[in-house]
């Protein structure tokens, strides 16, 4: 168990819709990152939040956005869904000790866009 939980586990949407994925991190883990894992690929970094502010972003368009809340939960929002957004979305959290720099992953939300 990593202490990181994600919901829902599976989701089916149609092209053009909007989706919100949720993540709950361990208490004290004030850094959360989101990754997209397409079929047959490794996870790709979407963005990172630290103390409720985005402080790093990968090569994803602005229709991918996020929020982090004081209670160690966070959201990934995707607008105007495209077929290529179908993937496993992973949330990962880190504690305050950056020297350890270990990310703990949730089991993911599998999003299918039809």
Does residue 106 belong to the site contacting other proteins (CB under 8 A)? yes
Does residue 42 belong to the site contacting other proteins (CB under 8 A)? yes
Collect all residues with Cβ–Cβ distance below 8 Å to 8 and sequence separation of at least 6. 21, 109
Does residue 102 belong to the site contacting other proteins (CB under 8 A)? yes
Alpha carbon 30 to chain centroid distance?
A: 14
Does residue 87 belong to the site contacting other proteins (CB under 8 A)? no
Does residue 111 belong to the site contacting other proteins (CB under 8 A)? no
Judged by CB under 8 A, the stretch of 18-26, 29-37, 62-70, 74-82 that binds other proteins is 29-37
Does residue 98 belong to the site contacting other proteins (CB under 8 A)? yes
Residues making contact with other proteins (CB under 8 A): 2, 4, 31, 33, 35, 40-45, 48, 56, 58, 90, 92, 94, 98-99, 101-108
């Amino acid at each position: 168990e990593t202490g990181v939980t994600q919901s829902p586990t599976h989701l089916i949407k149609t092209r053009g819709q909007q989706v919100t994925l949720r993540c709950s991190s361990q208490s004290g883990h004030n850094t959360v990152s989101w990754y997209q894992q397409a079929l047959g690929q490794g996870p790709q970094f979407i963005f990172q939040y630290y103390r409720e502010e985005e402080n790093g972003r990968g090569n994803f368009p602005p229709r991918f956005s996020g929020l982090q809340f004081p209670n160690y939960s966070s959201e990934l929002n995707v607008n105007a869904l495209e077929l290529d957004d179908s993937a496993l979305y992973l949330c990962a959290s880190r504690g305050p000790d950056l020297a350890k720099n270990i990310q703990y992953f949730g089991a993911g939300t599998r999003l299918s866009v039809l």
